[in-house]
Amino acid sequence: MKKQFFMLTAVLLMCQGIIAQIIDVTGKTESFTHYWSVGVGAGRANEGLRAGWLEHLKLVKEECGFQYVRMHGLFCDDMFVYFEKPDGQVIYNWQYVDEVYDRMLELGVRPFVELSFFPKDIAAENSKTQMWYRNNVSFDRKKIDKWHDLVKAFTQHVVDRYGIDEVSTWYFEVWNEPNLTGLGGFFHGTKSDYFLMYKESVNAIKSVDKRLKVGGPATSNFVPDDRHKGEILDHKKSVFYSQDVINTKQWKGVWIEDFLRFCEKENLPVDFISTHPYPTDYALDPETGRSKDAIRYVHSLYDDIHWLRNQLAMSKYPNAEIHLTEWSTSPNSRDCMHDHLPPAAFIIKANLDCLGLANSLMYWTFTDVFEEKGGGEELFHGGFGMINFQGIVKPSFHAYRMLHQLGDEKIYYKDPLFVSRSTKTGKISALAFNYPKEYESHVPGASDISDYYKASAKQLKITLKGLKPHTVFQLDLLDTDHGNIMAAYNAMGRPHSPNHEQTEWLRQQGRATLKFMMRADEHGELTINRELAPWACLLIKEI
């Protein structure tokens, strides 16, 4: 579709008798940081050797502003970091790690280092493996010294290669979701085993330089029950609540309280706390039909961060940073909702609602070059990425692109409108969005695919005053018909293997949000009266 540009004036709208909410852009402001663009997730380190992965990273760096990338599998066997000779000699090989990190840094993106998983010779004998790429996850206490030495050698290497001034800006997170054991789990060991591993890791890293930032426990979802109270996950204590009950329960971060107490007892540093506040029970699996009954309401992120802040305030580590190192609409890489429009409005609303409460909220993930379950069977298979394997952007990409264009001073926020100013340019930018009231009780999931467009529209009626006369704004609309790749793919007939021309057309349609212009009147007032369709997102930016 060709881009449409319209020049409209506030005077015309005022003559039509519109009564709009008036927002004075010269009023009091509040500084804020773009915590949504601090970091973003990726599958595993070896995927960073792919051309497509790097192309997608370049795109999200340029248009979404991400500063760090966090990924699994830094020490997996496919990164070839650890060689143990028959005589006991150990050789560390950093060539593959260097290749990934060098290219990331060239693009202006730093590693948010996740220390995982075990090289075969450090894992327990006959280690359990998980995921398609068979990562070793079994812990052996008798080999904890080898783990300590590996972490120390890695840390010393990156300091030697990139310099302490650079590496002191990085973050070192110990493992990924160690609370998940058994089928599909990331750690075959106990809670105490993980705490020992954290102790050895933080001591190894700090022995290289005390300025380096270390944290954990990188645990999975908040839960409303006692399944993680013991040393290992007890599935028998997992409770599924009905939709009318689920949001009345107190959800708590997994292992957080025990982790803080352990670190205090052992006098260990905790530079940041990390966890993964998905808005679902981790057991949610759209492939089995369990969906709505396991999904929490749209304010769950706000609740979870406040719970986490309270735990830190009561601990020895009240100043520890909060990094939420995975987050999305659900933790399933085959949830078709990830490809659709609703996540964009959810991303914008959740991030703006929680402004100032955390140091980062990292979307999982930036690309569908992601192989935990192997490659996707189809072009759009519910992958986590905001960009699919072929480089076609999804609505979630536009959500982060729009958030990135906000300023750094908040002028006004009340759902559905956020207004900001840039201290660098003095220009105004705003975001309007329609997260429909019908989905306040549960974040949209796979079971809602056929119904979500039936939700309510919202009327946006605003006047921005205090502008320079005749200031020009560009409006950028993401909705059902513009930038919504699934609508374009469906219209094409959903070819399983599109040819080159079809793929290029889909790339163009993924980027084809509707752009048009508006101009303030001679009094410096801009009035917008527009219906926002369900899930629509509208960027309003002074140019």
Residue 320 CA: distances (Å) to CA of 38, 151, 168, 209, 386: 16, 22, 16, 18, 30
> In 3D, which of 88, 37, 136 has the Cα closest to residue 363?
37
Q: Which two tokens stand for residue 218?
A: 């990188």
Residue 10 has pLDDT above 80, yes or no: no
pLDDT at position 51 is 97
Question: What number of residues does the chain have?
Answer: 543
Q: What is the pLDDT at residue 1?
A: 39
Residue 216 CA to residue 190 CA, distance in Å, equals 15
What is the pLDDT, as a whole number, of residue 445? Answer: 81
Percent of the chain with pLDDT over 70: 94
If you average pLDDT over residues 232-251, what whole number do you get? 88
The better pLDDT of the pair 397, 286 is held by 397
Q: How far apart are CA 88 and CA 15, in angstroms?
A: 84
Domain ranges in the chain? Answer: 21-28+414-542, 30-413
Three-class DSSP category at 403? helix
Tokens matching residue 329:
């609409």
**Distance separating alpha carbons of residues 331 and 338, to the nearest angstrom:** 10
Buried b (16+ CB within 10 A) or exposed e, 376-392: beebbbbbbbbbbbebb
Alpha-carbon span 332 to 329, nearest angstrom: 9
Contacts by residues 134-143 (CB-CB < 8 Å, ≥ 24 positions apart): 135/44, 135/72, 135/73, 135/76, 135/186, 136/76, 136/77, 137/185, 137/186, 137/187, 137/188, 138/188, 138/189, 139/187, 139/188, 139/189, 139/193, 139/194, 139/197, 141/193, 141/196
Q: What is the pLDDT of residues 360-416, one digit of tens each?
A: 999 999 999 999 999 999 999 999 999 999 999 999 999 999 999 999 999 999 999
pLDDT band at 8 (very low <50, low <70, confident <90, very high): very low
In this prediction, residues 161-178 reach a mean pLDDT of 98
* CATH superfamily to which 21-28+414-542 belongs: Glycosyl hydrolase domain; family 39 (2.60.40.1500)
Confidence of residue 19 (pLDDT cuts 50, 70, 90): low
217 cis-preceded (ω within 30 degrees of 0): yes
Answer yes or no: is pLDDT of 16 > 80.
no
| pLDDT for 240 | 80
Tell me the one-letter amino acid at 285.
D
Q: Say what the pLDDT of residue 18 is.
A: 43
Q: Residue 294: what pLDDT? A: 80
pLDDT of residue 299 exceeding 70: yes
> What pLDDT sits at residue 287?
52
DSSP 306: H
Is the pTM value of this prediction over 0.75? yes
Burial tier of 414 (Cβ tally within 10 Å: 0-12, 13-18, 19+): exposed
Catalytically active residues are 177
Query: Average pLDDT of 142-165?
Result: 98
The model's confidence at residue 290, banded by pLDDT at 50, 70 and 90, is low
Burial readout 264-300 (b: 16 or more C-beta within 10 A, e: otherwise)? eeeebbbbbbbbbbbbbbbbbbbeeebbbbbbbbbbb
SS (H, E, C) 416-431: CEEEEECCCCCCEEEE
Minimum mean pLDDT among 107-111, 195-199, 233-237, 307-311: which range? 233-237
pLDDT in tens, 433-471: 999 999 999 898 877 787 888 999 999 999 999 999 999
Q: How far apart are CA 146 and CA 197, in angstroms?
A: 11
Tokens describing residue 37: 């663009």
The mean pLDDT of the chain is 93
Q: CA-CA distance, 352 to 416, in Å (whole number)?
A: 10
Residue 15 pLDDT more than 90? no
Between the CA of residue 15 and those of 268, 304, 469, what are the distances in Å?
66, 47, 18
- Which H, E and C letters describe 82-124, residue by residue? EEECCCCCEEECCHHHHHHHHHHHHCCCEEEEEECCECCCCCC
What is the DSSP code (8-state) at residue 339?
G
Model confidence pLDDT, tens digit, residues 512-532: 999 999 999 999 999 999 999
Report, in angstroms and rounded to the nearest whole number, the Rg of the chain calculated over CA atoms.
24
- Two tokens at 438? 């019908």
Closest Cα to residue 485, out of 503, 499, 461? 503
pLDDT in tens, 111-121: 999 999 999 99
Asked which of 2-11, 104-113, 194-203, 216-225 is least confident by mean pLDDT, the reply is 2-11
238 — pLDDT class (breaks 50, 70, 90): confident
For residue 406, give both structure tokens: 């906000």
Determine the CATH number of domain 30-413. Answer: 3.20.20.80
pLDDT over 90 (residue 489): yes
